[in-house]
Amino acid sequence: MPSSLGGLQRCFWAVLLLLALAVLLLGCIMHVDIGLLMPQLGDQADGPPVTNVMFLKTHKTASSTVLNILYRFAETHNLSAALPAGGRFHLGYPWLFLARYVEGAEQGGPGRRFNIMCNHLRFNPPEVQKVMHSDTFYFSILRNPVFQLESSFVYYKSHVPAFRNVSSLDAFLASPWTYYNQSLGLSNAHARNSMWFDLGFDNGAPPEEGYVRARLLDVEQRFQLLLITEHFNESMVLLRRLLRWRLDDVVAFRLNSRSQHSVTPLSPACQERAKHWCALDWRLYQHFNRTSGPGCAQS
């Protein structure tokens, strides 16, 4: 009997070791932090979860997936969300955000604050602060502007004047000023430096070094975290740690993602033209993608 019991114990530990190795291998394959897959003691030892969060939802960057996570967290924890007034989808976009674009912001008096804000808006810090708590955690998401522009071209082709009368992104980038009319302003926001525009900056400004450095410093001072679409899983690991949330709070399915068959491959020459055309977005992406190594940039 003792030998039989000892055999069972050895079998149990062997199975447990195999499971641990399987989890480790899965984490390596998927590039997922093992801490997300295995329970940790004292996971929230450094404080309660952060419940005041502002997410600047940029366009065509996997931001809809993040928005879904935030709304689910708000519902689970009975938190208030800053929703667009009048049943709209956006908080005044593409105009700069104003507090009155939030449903109930004025009805609740000048001191009313919300826990979660994540709908599309063009960032305007003084107005955002009117409806968010002083200890709000600010973050956003950036994507390689070459692929972000390709996605925008497909998605907004019939809506953006600069894209309507051109057959392909390659043709557009070969002679962008033939199709892009800067005087149309907001109507063409998705056609050039759209992430720069979403941050509240001038997407048509010359990419002069002093101007770019000043705006990058503004972003560093306003946002505690910049996620990177190309390293989405790693970004969510860091976001979860900074917000002190549970694993269940950040698990999500990708939303509004395209099939790879629908993505137009861009030649190296076309990619270089895209970087030049969206020079402000390219500087933005380069800066924050290398600030803290692969994954995301923490300010």
Give the three-state DSSP class for 226. Answer: strand
Distance CA 235, CA 231 (A): 6
Structurally, the chain folds into a number of domains equal to 2
Instruction: Give yes or no for residue 85 having a pLDDT over 60.
Output: yes
- Contact yes or no for 129/148 (Cβ under 8 A): no
Q: Tens of pLDDT along 246-288?
A: 999 998 755 555 455 556 789 999 999 999 999 999 999 999 9
Q: Residue 293 forms beta bridges with which residues?
A: 291
Residues 172 and 269 both lie in one domain: yes
Tokens 């004025």 appear where?
106
**Mean pLDDT for all residues in the chain:** 86
- Between these two residues, 141 and 182, which has the higher pLDDT value? 141
- Contact yes or no for 224/231 (Cβ under 8 A): no
For the chain, what percent of residues have pLDDT higher than 70?
77
The pLDDT score that the predictor gives to residue 14 is 66
Among left, alpha and beta (phi > 0; psi -120 to 50; other), residue 169 is alpha
The pLDDT score that the predictor gives to residue 88 is 87
In a domain, 35, yes or no: no
The pLDDT score that the predictor gives to residue 198 is 98
- In terms of DSSP bridges, do strands 225-228 and 53-56 run parallel, antiparallel, or are they unpaired? unpaired
Residues 103 and 213 both lie in one domain: yes
Distance CA 233, CA 254 (A): 11
Distance CA 140, CA 171 (A): 31
Q: Tell me whether residue 196 is exposed, middle or buried, using C-beta atoms within 10 angstroms of its C-beta: 0 to 12, 13 to 18, 19 or more.
A: buried
- Between these two residues, 28 and 169, which has the higher pLDDT value? 169
Amino acid letter for position 48: P
The pLDDT score that the predictor gives to residue 15 is 63
| Confidence class for position 81, pLDDT limits 50, 70, 90 | very high
Give the three-state DSSP class for 56. Answer: strand
CATH number at 64 reads 3.40.50.300
In a domain, 41, yes or no: no
46 Cβ neighbours under 8 A, 6+ residues apart: 244
Q: Tens of pLDDT along 287-298?
A: 999 865 444 556
Residues 127 and 9 both lie in one domain: no
Q: Tell me whether residue 29 is exposed, middle or buried, using C-beta atoms within 10 angstroms of its C-beta: 0 to 12, 13 to 18, 19 or more.
A: exposed
Distance CA 237, CA 298 (A): 12
Q: Cis peptide leading into 94, omega within 30 of 0?
A: yes
The pLDDT score that the predictor gives to residue 271 is 97
The pLDDT score that the predictor gives to residue 114 is 97
In a domain, 103, yes or no: yes
Instruction: Give yes or no for residue 115 having a pLDDT over 90.
Output: yes
In a domain, 40, yes or no: no
Residues 23 and 134 both lie in one domain: no
Residues 93 and 226 both lie in one domain: yes
Distance CA 41, CA 50 (A): 19
Residues 147 and 284 both lie in one domain: yes
- Residues belonging to the chain: 299
Residues 145 and 290 both lie in one domain: yes
- Between these two residues, 167 and 28, which has the higher pLDDT value? 167
DSSP 265: P
Highest mean pLDDT among 31-35, 36-40, 44-48: 44-48
Give all strands (DSSP E) within the chain, no chain letters: 53-56, 116-117, 137-142, 225-228, 296-298
The pLDDT score that the predictor gives to residue 130 is 95
The pLDDT score that the predictor gives to residue 4 is 56
Residues 149 and 11 both lie in one domain: no
42 Cβ neighbours under 8 A, 6+ residues apart: none
Residues 26 and 61 both lie in one domain: no
Tokens 């967290």 appear where?
73
Domain that holds residue 7: 2-30
Residues 89 and 7 both lie in one domain: no
